[in-house]
Structure 1
Amino acid sequence: MGVVRHLRQVEADEAGIDLAFRADVHAGLSQAQKAIPARWFYDAAGSALFEDITALPEYYPTRSETDLLKRHAAAIADAAGPGRAVVELGSGSSTKTPLLLEAIDPAAYVPVDISGDFLRASARALAARFPGLAIYPVEADFTQPVDLPREICALPKLGFFPGSTIGNMVARTAVDLLRSWRSALGEASLLLIGIDRIKDVDILERAYDDPAGVTAAFNLNLLERINRELDGTIPLENFTHRAVWNDVHSRIEMHLVAACDMSFCVDGRPYHMARGETIHSENSHKYGPRDANLLLRAGGWTPLATWDDADPAFALILAEATALRSAP
């Protein structure tokens, strides 16, 4: 059946600029601790750079998760059963997706991603590989409410949330997202989610600050995107990439560090940064087994099975939608 249609659920102005991107950049640069949500890394250039990151020897999450999918595909298929619509959150280039689709014999596939270019390219590639599968790409920010294609409304659903992307969010936001998708996927739905484990700090920091500088380029591309799309004058040469483990919050933090005092404009609005000041661009939280299960339960999902025998440690967790209790 191939790619049936492409649904766009991103609000943009007359020039095609994402309105939420503009709002988040101005809000983030106005804070005492400047911060921009990590989802804005993923324009076409950022998405391509992230694919390069996943191939780096230091970046273990993709390797570990792919290994888990390959070795436990049969068990995942047995637990999920056939005939489900697979809804992938933040699909990107969908490199891991074929492993899941080959195993579970789905009725449809719905990739949801904020990067339209990558979404369309990956949907075409999967359509060629799975010619009998109905594919409904949805260009949307999966952290916001998303309307799923009407064609899959009556189907049982399997949410697929790989890559430990849930770790980019603080616990409160992660729980809200899980609850939102519990509602969107509906009763009798399942969720297969990748969650990174806590491990040696040296392994973690190398994964987010590789010697080749690919992660640094990925981080700096956020500033390039601001300059390009929001008429920014940010001097990229005055920023450096930093990745550091925050033990209190159990997370890797990525920052863009000002190497000197500077002033710049975005959309004509002036901003100033002092030497050593940072733009906090990403969190990547790591979870122990109990913490991960607690997070899922708080978000409306009951863990059914866990596969976490990867090296370095990573987990794939299959959970079912917790039954909603009626008011007394």
Structure 2
Amino acid sequence: MHRTDSLDRFMADVRAGLRASPKRLSPEYFYDALGSRLFEAICQLPWYPLTRAERALLERHAEEMVAPFGEGASIVELGCGSGEKLALLAAPLCKRLPRLDVHLVDVSETALDLSRRTLSRLPRVEVSAHRARYEEGLCAATARRLPGADGVRGGGGGPVLVLFLGSNIGNLDPDAAAAFLADVRASLRAGDALLLGADLVKPAAELLLAYDDPLGVTAAFNKNLLSRINRELGAAIDLRSFDHRAVWNAERARVEMHLVSRRRQVIRVSAIDLEVAFEEGESIWTESSHKYEPGEVVHMGERAGFRCDRQWIEEAGRFSTTLLIAEERAARR
């Protein structure tokens, strides 16, 4: 993705989001260089157990998770972050394969750089990086495959393992999550696989503490979205005029993050010639993080054309990782 394409899309999404009702901005824009670093800090906080729970599962079960994949297999990670989790899964494959092709997909150049450095510790790994949205990056990563039996193009002749970890699926509402999994399946052949990480439903107090930590790191992560608009789009938003707020929506099983205006104000974004008025207490909705029951993850995958090969649940019941195998498609008439 070219820088100008990325900036143009950011401008268009900010314009549309701030003119919407309710106002909203996509969480993908959290992850500039500073935002990526802040998220890495969040993952170290004692009140945010998601990353540690997932890592515990991967450390214990990585060999089982990649056991079905042999010579010629490749890995595509959507939303690579620091690459530490990917390295845990790639390591057992590196021990038994002469070569492993890995494709990194992320909108953050910082995340791509971090992942490249992490994977450089492993032998016989060939890394390709795609700065793109998930669907675009997956298509680019699989574009050179020859057509398979189900007619899907998309690396060499071996199976592809797609990683969608960190409960990134939780950032999508249920309809968007279903559509996303269907798009992933459409890019794969029968026998390819998706390893899907999902955060599980927990007590509300525990969830809210994870998204509104006492140190204020999550608040800084959320407010950095406004700072990014200032830096890149020529705005002059007073960050002190907005508060970070996390809300547990029990009916929809999601944590919502908002930036709440502390007073009546007008913000100006010069790069897109936009003025936006806020009432006191009016918010910008920046993220929804959906939580799941284990069976819901399996059913979601099955509806998209996968079958569940195996599911692992962290000992404390905080997190699940599910290996979904792409099934044969019905023959076209």
Structure-2-length-normalised TM-score: 0.90
Task: Provide the secondary structure at the position in 1 that maps to 2:105.
Answer: strand
**How far has the Cα of 1:64 moved from its partner?**
0.2
Corresponding residue for residue 122 of structure 1? 115
* 1:251 matched to 2:254: yes
Residue 318 of structure 2: which of 304, 313, 317 is its match?
A: 313
8 A Cα contact 1:296 1:303, kept in partner: yes
**How far has the Cα of 1:125 moved from its partner?**
3.2
List structure 1 runs of 4+ shifted beyond 4 angstroms.
none
**Cα 1:273–1:286 shift into 2, 3 Å:** same
**How far has the Cα of 1:312 moved from its partner?**
4.9
8 A Cα contact 2:84 2:118, kept in partner: no
**Cα 1:219–1:108 shift into 2, 3 Å:** same
Corresponding residue for residue 301 of structure 1? 306
- Cα distance in 2, alignment partners of residues 72 and 230 from structure 1: 45
- Cα distance in 2, alignment partners of residues 156 and 39 from structure 1: 29
**How far has the Cα of 1:304 moved from its partner?**
1.1
Q: Structure 2 unaligned runs (5+)?
A: 146-154
Corresponding residue for residue 230 of structure 1? 233
**What amino acid maps onto 2:308 in structure 1?**
P
Structure-1-length-normalised TM-score: 0.91
**Cα 1:197–1:80 shift into 2, 3 Å:** farther
Q: Structure 1 unaligned runs (5+)?
A: 1-9
- Cα distance in 2, alignment partners of residues 122 and 309 from structure 1: 24
* 1:60 matched to 2:49: yes
* 1:92 matched to 2:84: no
**What amino acid maps onto 2:326 in structure 1?**
A
Corresponding residue for residue 90 of structure 2? 101
Corresponding residue for residue 204 of structure 1? 207
Task: Provide the secondary structure at the position in 1 that maps to 2:20.
Answer: coil
Corresponding residue for residue 280 of structure 1? 285
Corresponding residue for residue 22 of structure 1? 11
- Cα distance in 1, alignment partners of residues 195 and 132 from structure 2: 20
**Cα 1:103–1:11 shift into 2, 3 Å:** same
**How far has the Cα of 1:137 moved from its partner?**
1.1
For the aligned residue pairs, the C-alpha RMSD in angstroms reads: 1.7
**How far has the Cα of 1:91 moved from its partner?**
0.2
The alignment covers a number of residue pairs equal to 316
Deviations 1:257-283 (A, max 9, x none): 100011011222111111100100001
8 A Cα contact 2:36 2:110, kept in partner: no
Task: Provide the secondary structure at the position in 1 that maps to 2:213.
Answer: coil
- Cα distance in 2, alignment partners of residues 101 and 148 from structure 1: 17
Corresponding residue for residue 128 of structure 2? 136
8 A Cα contact 1:159 1:185, kept in partner: no
**Cα 1:81–1:317 shift into 2, 3 Å:** farther
